[in-house]
Amino acid sequence: MNKKIIGIVFVAVFTALTLFILLTSEEISTFPDFIKNVNSFFLACAIGCMIVYLIVNAIIIYAIGRELDRGFHFKSAVYLSFVGQYYSLITPFASGGQPAQIYGLKTKYNMSIPKATSLTVKKFIIFQTVISLYSIFMFFFKLQFITKEYGPIILFIIIGLIVNLFGCVFIITLAYSRSLVNKILGIFMKIIKKLRIIKKFNEEKLYDHIDEYASCIQDIKNNKDVMIYLTLLTVLQLTVYFSITYFIYLAFGLNGAGYFDILAIQTVVYVVVSFIPTPGGAGASEGSFYVLFKVFFPKTVLLYAVALWRIIVYYGNMILSGIIVLIDKLRRRRA
């Protein structure tokens, strides 16, 4: 059973579980009233944020693609954005997005594998660095609020931040000290071999991947203008994505919570869920949202806020991306 099938099974199970929780809750009888009373303007703003997120994602891909190939078109970047979204949403740790994009670049746009790999790796490096620094900044920016409201689970939040920060530290270390990374990897290799944690381990392939990342990082470092441009775009992308929850909050007619309070907690939800190996954080996302946002949403609307948020950021995104990928496949078969 391949990753794609496993991902679809996970999504189906957790979707069914979410629906079961919603349909068996006492609040379901008031659901029609909530739908009627939801502020359409703020709901449109929430959906608009998701659309802007996808557009900015395509712009980032386009900017990197143009650096590698001057003939790279924005239309191609839009398609790759949806391909990456779809396969990331249906695979654990979002592991299917990059391979699907590389395959699409090779077969659909005839881009060489090294260039296609470079595009996806550069985007990942920028994103991972920005999300790590973004989440750390938001955590300390709202540290007093977070420690006050989430004291019992603060350790879990910190673990999520550390896991994300590890990726950033690795990238920065690789940028300035390739030899140090080699030494650290050498130590890990010895531990893995002694403990026999992994039966078959391709050490040479690992070092090839490290070389690939190091090369991409150097390219980014050498082109500071593009690096700044991509960093700002990624900050914008993350901000509009994390703002969706705030507009859902307003759509329910709620007030009193600060924009940056909700933005900070939504960032925490993202980093906590990111190291849980379910497709799109299915199950974990809903649970984390419910636990962390009950501070802002009354119990009577909390489940509906969870559902509305997941429909916008996950199910709606997956359906839209899946339709675009399916239409493209059908067109290519007819051609």
Count Cβ atoms within 10 A of the Cβ of residue 49 and give its class: 0-12 exposed, 13-18 middle, 19 or more buried. Answer: buried
Q: How far apart are CA 235 and CA 230, in angstroms?
A: 9
pLDDT value of position 233: 96
Per-residue pLDDT tens digits for 36-89 = 778 999 999 999 999 999 999 999 999 999 888 888 899 999 999 999 998 888
pTM for this predicted structure = 0.82
**DSSP track, 61-128:** HHHHHHHH-TT--HHHHHHHHHHHHHHHHTSGGGTTHHHHHHHHHHHTT---HHHHHHHHHHHHHHHH
Per-residue pLDDT tens digits for 294-312 = 999 998 888 888 888 988 9
Per-residue pLDDT tens digits for 156-195 = 888 888 887 887 787 777 777 777 777 777 776 677 666 6
Coil, helix or strand at residue 176? helix
